[in-house]
Amino acid sequence: MISATAPNTAARAPGSIAESRCLVIGAASGIGRATAERLRRSGAAVIGADLPSADWPEGHSGPSLPLDVTDPGSVATAVASAVQTLGRLDAVVNCAGILGPVASALATPVDEFERIMRINLTGAFIVSQAVLPGMAQAGYGRLLHISSTAGKEGVTNMPAYSASKAGILGLVKSLAKEFALSGVTVNALAPGNILTPLFGQVPADQQTAQAAKIPMGRFGTPAEAASLIEFIISPDASYTTGFVFDLSGGRATY
């Protein structure tokens, strides 16, 4: 296997997002769906992936694959299928994740904590292991994981979610250093309150409390997330790796 520090400079890198071949994980709804749609409009070749049980929206277009981020075999099979279909993977956006129950730490069972960590954090590691070798061998790649402001500052009654999203930050920074000389960038996006089905699971009183923390005075949209994601995974974003991009309306810009 080629070293992560020795890119294959003979491989052809995309010159623009329109020339990029992308896999979006968690593409059936929310930020993942908006990202896949935007990338397709920009001319990129995109495959969306989500759980076999995912409820894809009516009118969904474009190829899709079943993928369970907690299962290394499922991820490996989906990645291999995407590479076979597209010829290569220039960019992977991992939006898979769950909120879990909104409950105090003392009321959160250990097995539930571990389930959330398995999906949100271990799943990100499994995806990374599946896609980074091919990108490093090609000498080009963009990997983006979705974290959260909860991972930066912690959110009351979301101990597992906050811990899992904090873990993604450390994972991304470690991987970015390991692959820094390979032509591959590894970054994270930390959304605040984005109007997705996931955020809809947050109790109304907690939504109100979180809204008060946003300097812009409003929640974000999946389309705004997709716009930023398109830049992060584009060839233009060539000198930023191991970074956590803010998407919180000014709430958590550190």
Name the residues annotated as catalytic: 161
Strand order in the sheet with 64-66: 64-66, 45-50, 21-25, 91-94, 141-146, 184-191, 244-247
Q: Which of these, 173, 189, 204, 146, lies nearest to 25 by C-alpha position?
A: 146
DSSP E strand boundaries for 114-200 = 141-146, 184-191
The answer to whether 198 and 99 have CB atoms below 8 angstroms apart is yes
* Beta bridge partner(s), residue 93: 24, 144
CA atoms within 13 A on the CB side of 47: 22
d(CA 22, CA 32): 12
111 contacts 40 by C-beta, under 8 angstroms: no
